[in-house]
Amino acid sequence: MTSPATAQAPLIRLEEVTKVYPGRGRQSSPVTAVDGVSLEVMPGEIQAIVGYSGAGKSTLVRLINALEPATSGSITVDGTEVVGLSERQLRHLRLRIGMIFQQFNLFDSRTVWGNLAYPLHVAGVPKSEHQQRISELLHFVGLPDKAHVYPGHLSGGQKQRVGIARALATNPTLLLADEATSALDPETTGEVLELLNRVNAEFGTTIVVITHEMEVVRELADKVAVMEAGRIVESGPVFEVFSKPVQPVTRRFVGTVVDDLPPGPVLEALRARHTGRFVTLAFHDPEVRQSDVYAVLARHGVGFELIYGGIEEIQGVTFGNLTLALVGADDAVEQALADVRGLVPVTDLDRLEED
């Protein structure tokens, strides 16, 4: 999944990209949807872009295949500068970029076959090759028997599979996915994510996914960029961003899948049920295992109980925040904590208020 750390050129390079929409009505003022964004995506990577509604995510991906022209900045895809290309040149570029959508956007007037044949026609693939390519695609997405069905008769998950097949028809090097699973139930979402993972693994297709679901980021992405008000406020490998979120918006997003410190009301409830010293241990370092920490506590004769939190696995690394209630003599607990601090970051919940 992750590309080797060679001096490879990025597949996508955004530099100080800005998109300003003119105001719609007479009085309305212009909207800066994307505001000085710089981002690089390496070939074969899966880059997620998260952010709340209106953050500018859709606008950002639509700049990449120039469905919207950028107002300023530079966008290169596969070495081609996109900004300033003519409509004709853009059509060439778009043959190498597939796109899938939240609402699938299939042609209702065409069968599944017709939907898959359309990009082949556009790309000028000879008709004699359609049969084989379409059958390949349908097998790949697991819908070999749906060729002659109209989209109206497919379930949401099947429609998105067709959408993916259609986007892959011309073997694009890049796939853009705008909320591709947001209209699907959790189970179907899982299937579609697995399919996208296979696309990446088998064809080496670089994927940019927009989502507001951190589950999608966790299941799919190598890297994540968090957008707020048109800017990328935080970005990096998913593991890093998940384990050490910095910006408030990032913390909120990460909090939806990874438990952080127990929030106030939860802490009160915990206090009512448990005694002892409350500490939260952050397991971020793949070298440090939980058992190491528990061994230290045992050595100091400190009893402990896991009262809150959980361990996640992301990109093969386990991490998470565990809140423990420590029971023992005060100095024993103190010494144990000193040793534990040598292994993992510790947040002392009893001392939190005094900080």
Partner 1 sequence: MEDTRLPELWPELWEATTQTLVMVSVTMLVGGLLGLVLGMALYLTRRDGLYSNRWVFGVLNVVVNFFRPIPFVIFIAAVQPLSRAVIGIGIGTQAATFALILAAMFGIGRLVEQNLVTVRPGVLEAARAMGASRMRIALTVVLPEALGPLILGYTFAFVAVVDMSAVAGVIAGGGLGTFAQQYGYRQFDYVVTWTAVILLVILVQVVQFLGNFLAGKVLRR
Encoded tokens for 183: 């209209």
Please tell me whether residue 211 binds Mg ion under the rule CB under 5 A.
Answer: no
Judged by CB, which is closer to partner 1: 97, or 184?
97
Contact code string over 1-30 relative to ligand ATP, x by CB under 6 A: --------------------x---------
Please tell me whether residue 55 binds ligand ATP under the rule CB under 6 A.
Answer: yes
Contact by Cβ (8 Å): 101, 163: yes
Please tell me whether residue 181 binds ligand ATP under the rule CB under 6 A.
Answer: no
Phi/psi of residue 56, nearest 5 degrees: 110, 15
**What is the footprint of partner 1 within residues 84-123 (CB under 8 A)?**
87, 90-95, 97-99, 101, 103, 105-110, 118-119, 122-123
- The entry of Mg ion, ligand ATP, partner 1, none near residue 289 (CB within 5 to 8 angstroms by kind) is none
Indicate the helix (H) or strand (E) that contains 330: helix 330-341
**Exposed (0-12), middle (13-18) or buried (19+): which is 69, by Cβ within 10 Å?**
middle
CA–CA separation, 2 and 9 (whole Å): 14
Contact code string over 332-351 relative to partner 1, x by CB under 8 A: --------------------
Please tell me whether residue 53 binds ligand ATP under the rule CB under 6 A.
Answer: yes
Out of 58, 65, 76, 170, the residue judged to bind Mg ion by CB under 5 A: 58
Phi/psi of residue 66, nearest 5 degrees: 60, 30
Residue 188 three-state SS: helix
CA–CA separation, 242 and 224 (whole Å): 9
Instruction: Give the binding site for ligand ATP (CB under 6 A).
Output: 21, 31, 33, 51, 53-59, 212
- Positions in the binding site for partner 1 (CB under 8 A): 65, 67, 87, 90-95, 97-99, 101, 103, 105-110, 118-119, 122-123, 150, 152, 166, 170, 176
